[in-house]
């Protein structure tokens, strides 16, 4: 692996506009289970209950959804940024980080200290809540207090509309503005570093693919193979936090 680490260092040295694309494998190394992994939330809940159409049409589905979402949120708030998050912060400190495009909803890039304007959360964030009717925004902790007090299906205090965390659910449209920004960022980057993403979820996985096709070098750091490995200039299989901290020399 030593020569691969050296190759990664050279890629970073030569780059001026680095895009980081992060997925669940980055979060698992901070103790947040992947929904799909053994022991993850999909081993306790049926994801079919959480399709967007069902959430907005079925009160019982919303009660189940909030129970699952609250359990997940508590795990996220207890988690801390790992060495890979801090390596990304170092890339910003040395002036090489162009942007972060993340599939993660856990706020860890923010808590690591990266500039909010550099972070594009294409699957949203679990740390705020919005009314689906009038758009009023809420701090997530305030909604969690309502749930802890026994309110199982919280509603908007402005218009009685349905409340939902600002995350993208199954069957819910991706935010067009964030996807457009991510694709633009990919096209303007000169190095794309994929961290802990299986690259099987679309349209998110089209972002690093677009970077590679636009002339950016593609480095993939992931424990398992991905469908884009053959497109990459460098693939390193291993722990995301260990490998990236070595590549960035933390």
Reported in sequence order, the residue ranges of the chain that DSSP labels E, i.e. its strands, are 18-22, 97-102, 119-121, 124-131, 137-139, 163-167, 191-195, 217-222, 234-237
Residue 217: beta bridge partners?
Answer: 191
Query: In angstroms, what CA-CA distances link 95 with 6, 81, 121?
Result: 20, 20, 21
Q: State CA 90 to chain mean position distance.
A: 19
123 carries an active-site annotation? yes
What is the gyration radius of the CA atoms in the chain, in angstroms? 19
Catalytic residue among 85, 123, 210, 242: 123
The residues annotated with a catalytic role in the active site are 123
């Amino acid at each position: 692996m030593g020569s691969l680490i050296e190759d990664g260092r050279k890629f970073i040295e030569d780059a001026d506009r680095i895009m980081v694309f992060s997925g669940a494998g980055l979060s698992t190394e901070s103790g947040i289970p992947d929904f799909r992994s053994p022991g993850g939330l999909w081993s306790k809940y049926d994801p079919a209950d959480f399709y967007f159409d069902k959430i907005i049409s079925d009160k019982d589905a919303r009660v189940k959804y909030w129970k699952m979402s609250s359990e997940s949120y508590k795990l996220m708030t207890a988690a801390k940024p790992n060495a890979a998050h801090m390596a990304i912060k170092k890339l910003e400190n040395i002036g090489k980080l162009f942007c972060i495009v993340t599939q993660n909803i856990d706020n860890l890039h923010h808590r690591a200290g990266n500039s909010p304007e550099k972070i594009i959360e294409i699957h949203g964030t679990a740390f705020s809540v919005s009314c689906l009717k009038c758009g009023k925004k809420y701090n997530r902790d305030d909604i969690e207090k309502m749930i802890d007090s026994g309110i199982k299906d919280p509603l908007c205090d402005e218009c009685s509309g349905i409340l939902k965390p600002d995350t993208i659910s199954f069957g819910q449209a991706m935010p067009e503005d964030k996807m457009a920004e991510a694709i633009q960022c990919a096209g303007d980057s000169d190095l794309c570093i994929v961290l802990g993403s299986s690259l099987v979820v679309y349209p998110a996985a089209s972002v690093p693919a677009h970077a590679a096709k636009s002339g950016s070098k593609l480095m993939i750091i992931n424990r398992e193979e991905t469908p884009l490995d053959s497109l990459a200039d460098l693939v390193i299989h291993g722990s995301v936090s260990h490998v990236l901290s070595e590549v960035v020399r933390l």
